[in-house]
């Protein structure tokens, strides 16, 4: 009997979430008016461009070559132009010896989105992380820094896709 009530509760919860427009965060889709996305970067083959293209594949969003779209003028393709990414470090704390103990990493992303038949939209955002530095483990901390920046890059790609889906639905 308790099993039936729990089953009914789960079904009711799913229906109420679906009815209010809730979507899982990893299930980005573009509206029907957008058939494909073309990505270009100011710095050819940048890491952010590769990350964004990989995330588009994960979300199963069709891609086209940017040069082909610009030359032929496809009316159903969104153009994304990535500006050079920036990574800055801000000092947060120091050891008693005066060596840096902790940084705040600031990953800045600037890009431009052009929807077919609309003016380009400029966008900029920052992703921040705290990073603890240990002068005794320089090699390990260097590798950790690379991993943190890579994680920030993947988060930036996800954020671009979420914003793209939101902007496309508003047009």
Q: Where are the domains of the chain?
A: 30-170
Q: At what angle do helices 138-170 and 47-58 cross, to 10 degrees?
A: 60
Instruction: State the CATH class of domain 30-170.
Output: alpha beta
Q: By three-state DSSP, how is residue 66 classified?
A: helix
When pLDDT is averaged across residues 109-130 and rounded to a whole number, the result is 93
Q: Which of 15-19, 35-39, 98-102, 127-131 has the lowest mean pLDDT?
A: 15-19
- Answer yes or no: is pLDDT of 25 > 60: no
Residue 61 to residues 47, 77, 157, 162, Cα–Cα distance (Å): 19, 11, 13, 12
Please give the Cα distance from 99 to 52 (Å, whole number).
Answer: 36
- Answer yes or no: is pLDDT of 27 > 60: no
Encode pLDDT of 71-106 as tens digits.
566 677 889 999 999 999 998 888 888 787 888 999
Q: What is the pTM of this model?
A: 0.76
When pLDDT is averaged across residues 16-41 and rounded to a whole number, the result is 69
Please give the Cα distance from 62 to 43 (Å, whole number).
Answer: 22
């Amino acid at each position: 009997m308790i099993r039936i009530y729990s089953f009914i509760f789960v079904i009711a919860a799913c229906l109420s979430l679906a009815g209010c427009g809730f979507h899982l965060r990893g299930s980005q889709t573009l509206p029907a008016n957008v058939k494909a996305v073309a990505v270009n970067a100011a710095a050819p083959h940048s890491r952010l461009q590769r990350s964004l293209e990989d995330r588009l594949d994960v979300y199963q969003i069709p891609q086209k070559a940017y040069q082909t779209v610009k030359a032929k003028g496809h009316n159903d393709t969104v153009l994304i132009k990535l500006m050079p990414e920036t990574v800055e470090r801000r000092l947060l704390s120091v050891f008693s010896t005066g060596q840096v103990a902790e940084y705040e990493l600031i990953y800045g992303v600037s890009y431009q989105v052009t929807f077919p038949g609309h003016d380009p939209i400029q966008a900029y955002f920052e992703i921040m992380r705290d990073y603890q530095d240990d002068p005794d483990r320089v090699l390990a901390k260097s590798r950790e820094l690379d991993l943190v920046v890579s994680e920030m890059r993947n988060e930036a790609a996800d954020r671009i896709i979420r914003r793209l889906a939101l902007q496309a639905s508003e047009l």
